[in-house]
Amino acid sequence: MSTAADATFFHPALLYRGDGEYLAGTVPFIRDGLSAGDAVAAAVPGEHVELLRTALGAAADHVAMVDMTVVGRNPGRIIPGVLRDFADRHPNQHVRIIGEPIWPRRTADEYSACLRHEALINHAFTGRDVTVLCPYDADSLDPEVLADAARTHPVLVDQDGTRDSCRYAPDDVLMDCNQPLPAPPGAERFVIAASGLPGLRRVVCAFGQRQGLSADRADDLVLVLTELATNSVEHAVSPAIVLLGRVGDQLVCQVRDTGYISDPLAGRRPVVPGQQRGRGLLLVNLLSDLVRAHSRPGTTVTEVRFALA
């Protein structure tokens, strides 16, 4: 686990107020990295992409910038599909990334997944030559969110300077995030054994299309729920209980089994060349709009959400 004294991996939180403080904390971070020959990326909300491009001028051409509201819509996708993807493509350079996964428009359920993500970054990059700077809007985010930032980041940066966080406890955060997930109200329920997987595909496809998913997204939903149900049958050695529901403009589906996922980074590691197995949970994160999970010995619940809008 990294600390403020770790000379390899750094994970500071930037607590900013207004565009001026945002740029004062991010632009020097980027320019210093470019001057040092580092690989630099910024995964931030779209309005901040434009803000950084304007402030950096021609230097912006040397920074990989992506809109986090798109690539990080599902927080479970950020480590494998954004942060590790960029870092792994620059194995011989120090890597600097600005990652801003939390913004005021996040829902409460999305925030819970973001909090787990921020805690897991400390496991995902321990021992790597990487710095991940995470901006937090201190004017617009709830005080509880800022307090959580102190629990998931070993170093805090604001207009008063840089300091170690005395509340840093990412593993405690992971335990707090591992809460039971209620069943979607009014959900259709299916008990699936290995022989029932082909039938599950047909049921899920019909459900998705009936609820208004496009044909492509219905195919994605089928793939996600089939992967989860297959994991239940193969690894939990128990039937999968599949719940298909809708809440507002989202499909909310769950797969429940008697297994236990002990690896906190399961589904958040990129596939390595030659890897034959272990892709299922990663695929779930890459395709879903939101993934939440609860696991303890004897019980695992994985919830996936697909937006209809």
Task: For residue 99, give the DSSP letter.
Answer: E
pLDDT the model gives residue 277: 63
* Cα–Cα distance for residue pair 270/80, rounded to 1 Å: 5
pLDDT the model gives residue 234: 87
CATH topology of domain 188-307: Heat Shock Protein 90 (3.30.565)
pTM metric for this prediction: 0.93
pLDDT tens digit string along 73-120?
A: 999 999 999 999 999 999 999 999 999 999 999 999 999 999 999 999
Residue 246 corresponds to which tokens in the numbers above? 């809708």
Q: Please report, for the chain, the start and end positions of each structural domain, with discontinuous segments joined by +.
A: 12-175, 188-307
User: Half-sphere exposure of 60 toward its Cβ, with a 13 Å CA cutoff?
Assistant: 13
**What does the mean pLDDT of the chain come to?**
94
pLDDT tens digit string along 170-219?
A: 999 999 999 999 999 999 999 999 899 999 999 999 999 999 999 999 99
Task: For residue 147, give the DSSP letter.
Answer: H
CATH number listed for the domain at residues 12-175:
3.40.50.300
**pLDDT tier, 273 (very low <50, low <70, confident <90, very high otherwise):** low
pLDDT the model gives residue 3: 42
* 110 within 8 A of 75, measured Cβ to Cβ: yes
Residue written as token pair 């930037």: 14
b/e per residue, 71-103, with b = 16+ CB within 10 A? ebebbbbbbbbbbbbbbeebeebbbbbbbbbbb
* Cα–Cα distance for residue pair 108/110, rounded to 1 Å: 5
Residue 133 corresponds to which tokens in the numbers above? 């700077």
pLDDT the model gives residue 189: 97
* 291 within 8 A of 304, measured Cβ to Cβ: yes
For residue 159, CA distances in Å to 17, 18, 131, 234 come to 9, 11, 20, 52
Helix axes 143-152, 108-124, angle to 10 degrees: 20
* 45-54, 262-271, 281-290: the lowest-pLDDT one: 262-271
Using the predicted structure, report yes or no on whether residue 5 has a pLDDT greater than 60: no
Long-range contacts of 82-90 (CB under 8 A, 24+ apart): 82/43, 83/43, 83/121, 83/124, 83/125, 83/132, 84/124, 84/268, 84/269, 84/270, 85/270, 86/39, 86/41, 87/39, 87/125, 87/128, 87/130, 88/270, 89/39, 90/39
How far, in whole angstroms, is CA 162 from its chain's centroid? 26
pLDDT tens digit string along 217-264?
A: 999 999 999 999 999 998 877 899 999 999 999 999 999 999 999 999
Spell out the alpha helix ranges (H) of the chain.
18-35, 46-56, 68-71, 78, 84-88, 108-124, 143-152, 170-177, 197-211, 215-231, 280-287
